[in-house]
């Protein structure tokens, strides 16, 4: 981490290396932001959407080679290879720096170098962190303005002694004199590098302009680097939503949720309950930073200032609150456009128009079976556009964590919800979570569970075994009653015909209500070998169109299926190696013993 005296030196070093035509320090003002959009539109790098239909909103379209996070080009360059562990791509730091330095040489010729001071987390929160991103992408700048706290107020904190995490980003497409730019400059895949140097608290990114590869405050700082900082400093950086749930009496609690992609994290964070009198508000939909205060309890903040959500499948049916939030002041990436310059994607409420411009900016061919919007199409919008944003979302003191949810897509075995026996058992539950591979993914591995501990598989900045040990440590030396219970939820159980047994979406509020009432010691549960499962009469099933047989199946624990699950977990644990905490192996052994005795 560096301070202000280092900042001007570093900026000068990057200028000398990358050779931009000019330097712009981003102030964060609205006037400046508007000028950026005007420039992007004039350079044909963005399309302004119809201001009558989608005010102050813009569409961007990436190169077909640059559409998502590139995990195979994402590296953890720890000083010791053993510190990266089996879940990361390790690269020797000196060699990686030599390789990337040669790529950075002259990489910003013909471009502007933007210097962005930004903060992750509320300005006065004790675990908030400051970053500096240097980039030659104006697309990155306008997205970071929505996703983080950018500008002069952050620079002022650095001038007054605050340290920062440096991040260097280039799209890797220098321009020759008088050469016309393309709408989405980027490098070829083999020259894309998203590099993290956790021991130095340093981020280097080259060749990609898309999402988490380029918005360095998001996955790079807020998870990969922050997770290592959190371990060293005694807090946690997690891939989790934060929601506030309030009952009809006005009593509220804060719940975290860790789910892999495509498991409904954003939908849950903005859920509209179907049970009368209950209310859900969002504090964050993607990342939570958690620390233990002197009272022994866990508190959390959302380090981000906006939502970078998957557009495809989002609708007024699946997530009406998200749709309301993106009605204006939104950046859309790789969606389809209608003739009247509005947005469209598969799964949106509107019927497919007769004519569309697809995400590659071609006339959409209705006769062919391909998506008009890219499956990873995105929207970027400030959190304040959400009508269900909780008033505490920027409280620097954080919010008290009452429960932590984990879960994935599991068509069998895992019940609708079960509660941990204690903190360490809850860490065991989080360590084994994952989703079952379907025929849509890898046909010869159908039914195999891809383990994704606490939904952090792509984001742990150090060894996964040390990461799980840190979870255990966060619950040690404290009264167990002060810690949140951990709940495994599964909205995706299927019947013998392959149909979902649980309706999901707003009906998930019934599970949240049971969890809320468990915390309040008001809901009953039966003790099973895997944890506490709801008594059926303790779930609020009023006016729910689900058969009694399905409800019984959703809460049934199949001993033989769980014994097979235990074998699968044991095989997964073997991949972690010698750093797997003994306590987790003990939890697995105890699970098998309880199953055999049941």
Beta bridge partners of 406: 258, 488
Given the structure tokens 């984990």, which residue do they identify? 406
119 Cβ contact partners less than 8 Å away, ≥ 6 residues apart: 128, 129, 130, 131, 148, 149, 150, 154, 157
Q: Phi and psi of 515, rounded to 5°?
A: -60, -45
In whole angstroms, what is the distance from residue 573 CA to residue 198 CA? 24
In whole angstroms, what is the distance from residue 389 CA to residue 302 CA? 12
Total number of residues shown for the chain? 598
**Sign of the torsion angle spanned by Cα atoms 25, 193, 454, 434:** positive
In whole angstroms, what is the distance from residue 557 CA to residue 565 CA? 12
Please check whether residue 431 is in contact with residue 505, taking contact to mean a CB–CB distance below 8 angstroms.
no
3-state secondary structure of 90: strand
Active-site position among 18, 186, 220, 263: 263
In whole angstroms, what is the distance from residue 142 CA to residue 411 CA? 40
Burial 378-399 (b: 16+ CB within 10 A, else e): bbbbbbebbebbbebbbeeebb
Concerning whether 186 is annotated as a catalytic residue, the answer is no
Q: What is the DSSP letter of 352?
A: P
Distance, CA of 20 to chain centre: 32
Please check whether residue 225 is in contact with residue 461, taking contact to mean a CB–CB distance below 8 angstroms.
yes
Residue 386 sits at the vertex; the CA angle it makes with 266 and 452, to the nearest 5 degrees, is 15
Cβ-based burial of 98 (10 A; exposed 0-12, middle 13-18, buried ≥19) = exposed
What DSSP string describes 407-442? E---SSSS-SEEE-SSHHHHHHHHHH-EEE--TTT-
Both tokens of 245, joined, read 């749930």
As annotated, the active-site residues are: 263
């Amino acid at each position: 981490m560096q301070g202000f005296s280092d900042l001007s030196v570093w900026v000068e070093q990057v200028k000398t290396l990358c050779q931009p035509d000019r330097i712009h320090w981003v102030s964060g003002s609205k006037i400046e932001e508007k000028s950026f959009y005007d420039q992007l539109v004039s350079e044909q790098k963005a399309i302004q959407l119809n201001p009558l239909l989608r005010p102050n909103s813009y569409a961007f379209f990436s190169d077909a080679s640059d559409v998502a996070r590139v995990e195979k080009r994402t590296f953890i360059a720890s000083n010791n290879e053993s510190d990266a562990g089996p879940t990361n791509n390790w690269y020797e730091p000196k060699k990686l720096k030599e390789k990337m330095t040669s790529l950075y040489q002259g990489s910003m010729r013909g471009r502007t170098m933007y210097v962005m001071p930004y903060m992750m987390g509320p300005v006065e929160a004790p675990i908030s962190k400051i970053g500096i991103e240097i980039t030659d992408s104006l697309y990155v700048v306008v997205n970071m303005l929505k996703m983080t706290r950018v500008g002069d107020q952050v620079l002022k904190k650095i001038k007054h002694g605050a340290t920062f995490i440096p991040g260097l980003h280039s799209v890797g497409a220098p321009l020759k004199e008088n050469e016309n730019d393309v709408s989405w400059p980027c490098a070829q895949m083999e020259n894309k590098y998203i590099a993290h140097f956790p021991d130095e608290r340093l981020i280097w990114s080259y060749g990609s302009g898309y999402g988490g590869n380029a918005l360095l405050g998001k996955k790079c700082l807020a998870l990969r680097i922050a997770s290592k900082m959190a371990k060293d400093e005694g807090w946690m950086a997690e891939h989790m939503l934060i929601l506030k749930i309030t009952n009809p009496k006005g009593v509220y609690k804060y719940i975290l949720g860790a789910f892999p992609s495509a498991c409904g994290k954003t939908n849950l964070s903005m859920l509209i309950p179907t049970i009368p009198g209950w209310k859900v508000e969002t504090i964050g939909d993607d990342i939570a930073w958690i620390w233990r205060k002197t009272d022994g309890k866990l508190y959390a903040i959302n380090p981000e200032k906006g939502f970078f959500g998957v557009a495809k499948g989002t609708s007024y049916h699946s997530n009406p609150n998200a749709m309301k939030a993106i009605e204006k002041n939104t950046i859309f990436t790789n969606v389809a456009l209608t003739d009247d310059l509005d947005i469209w994607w598969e799964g949106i409420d509107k019927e497919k128009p007769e004519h569309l411009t697809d995400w590659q900016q071609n006339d959409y061919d209705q006769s062919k079976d391909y998506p008009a919007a890219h499956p990873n199409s995105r929207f970027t919008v400030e959190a304040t556009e959400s009508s269900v944003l909780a008033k505490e979302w920027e409280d620097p003191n954080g919010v008290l964590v009452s429960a932590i949810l984990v879960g994935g897509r599991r068509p069998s075995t895992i019940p609708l919800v079960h509660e941990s026996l204690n903190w360490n058992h809850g860490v065991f539950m989080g360590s084994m979570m994952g989703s079952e591979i379907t025929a849509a993914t890898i046909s010869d591995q159908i039914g195999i569970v891809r383990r994704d501990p606490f939904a952090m598989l792509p984001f742990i900045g150090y060894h996964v075994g040390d990461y799980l040990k840190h979870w255990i440590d966060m619950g040690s030396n404290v009264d167990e009653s002060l810690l949140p219970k951990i709940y495994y939820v599964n909205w995706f159980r299927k019947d013998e015909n392959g149909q979902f047994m649980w309706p999901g979406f707003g009906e998930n509020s019934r599970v949240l209500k049971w969890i809320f009432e468990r915390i309040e010691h008001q809901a009953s549960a039966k003790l099973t070998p895997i944890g506490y499962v709801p008594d059926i009469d303790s779930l609020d099933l009023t006016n729910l169109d689900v058969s009694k047989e399905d409800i019984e199946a959703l809460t049934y624990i199949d001993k033989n299926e769980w014994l097979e699950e235990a074998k699968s977990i044991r095989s997964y644990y073997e991949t972690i190696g010698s750093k797997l905490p003994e306590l987790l192996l003990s939890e697995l052994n105890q699970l098998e013993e309880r199953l055999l005795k049941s």
